[in-house]
Amino acid sequence: MPRPRSIHFVPGGNERMFGKALGLPADALILDLEDSVTPENKASARKAVYDWLREGKFGGRRKLVRINPLDSPWGAEDIAAVIAGKPDGLVVPKACRLADVEAVDSLVAKEEIRTGMEIGMVKLLLIGTESPASVFHLREMANHGRVDGMTWGSEDLSAELGASAIRDENGDYLDVFRMARSMALLAAAAAEKQPVDTIYADIRDLEGLTADCRRAAAMGFTGKLTIHPDQIAIVNEAFTPGDAEISEARELLAAAGEHRAAGRMAFRFRGQMVDAPHLKRARRILARAGEEV
């Protein structure tokens, strides 16, 4: 299954929003049991999400569930309830260190065995950087075998730091959040897992979202979390290689084949000297476009 570009949040238990989400162009849906559900509605939302997983017509979209943290009263019960619905993955919040990931993995494996699933079938998308401590453990968490993606959280980190702002007057991240973003990207890339950019909170500012997506894609992120339907098309476009980019990648790889046959690995292409790193980037562009390389 291709890596998702747009990964859209749906509040658990909200039937109207779930029905609407099934008609949206998002590549993946996160059925949320954490922040969008009040404590008194956790049990009913959990039951609704299980029913959605079993009965919903997802149309090939990846089915993810954001559970509550394991140190909350609901996290373990979330896992016990939803794994039988066979989600593609769980979104794990508040993961601070490897032991947190291992604890989730253990509970998921137990439920996979109980329900007759293959162990390791349910993957994990980690929300890193939601606490100051987690930033220093991103690499070992990303390297866990069940993890297949990492995103990051600015809002929770801001609350933990007591920060009065996340972005400056120009809309750019303040230094500490820019560092957290980069650390999450590097950890995911080092572990060869998908790097996913965080939400863009101002749902009215589509111009700002567009710029934010372009920066994220230029950095190496391959997808982004969304919280409003209007954000999805913008995210999909930003994380889909354009025709010119695809054409150039094809041309570069074709030229590389000719030069390699002549015994050259470094050569001039469109006025620049190129070598192995440029070829790797070209292959990744074509892979993101769904082409065999």
DSSP string, 36-97: TS-GGGHHHHHHHHHHHHHH---TT-EEEEEPPPTTSSSHHHHHHHHGGG--SEEEE-S--S
Token pair 């606490």 is found at 131
Q: Average model confidence (pLDDT) for the chain?
A: 94
Tell whether pTM > 0.75.
yes
pLDDT (tens digit, 9 = 90+) per residue, 177-221? 999 999 999 999 999 999 999 999 999 999 999 999 999 999 999
CB–CB of 144/137 below 8 Å?
no
In the block, which residue shows the tokens 């995210």? 235
Instruction: Give the pLDDT confidence score for residue 241 in this predicted structure.
Output: 82
Taking residues 227-243, report their average pLDDT: 93
pLDDT tens across 21-30, in order?
Answer: 999 999 999 9
pLDDT for residue 263 is more than 90: no
Q: Please tell me the CATH code under which domain 6-238 is placed.
A: 3.20.20.60
Task: List beta partners, residue 269.
Answer: 272
pLDDT of 276 strictly over 90: no
d(CA 51, CA 47): 6
- Do 128 and 184 touch, CB atoms closer than 8 A? yes
Q: Where in the chain is CATH 3.20.20.60?
A: 6-238
pLDDT, residue 1, reads: 64
pLDDT (mean) for 48-65: 96
Residues 223, 185 contacting (CB under 8 angstroms): no
CA distance 180 to 177: 5
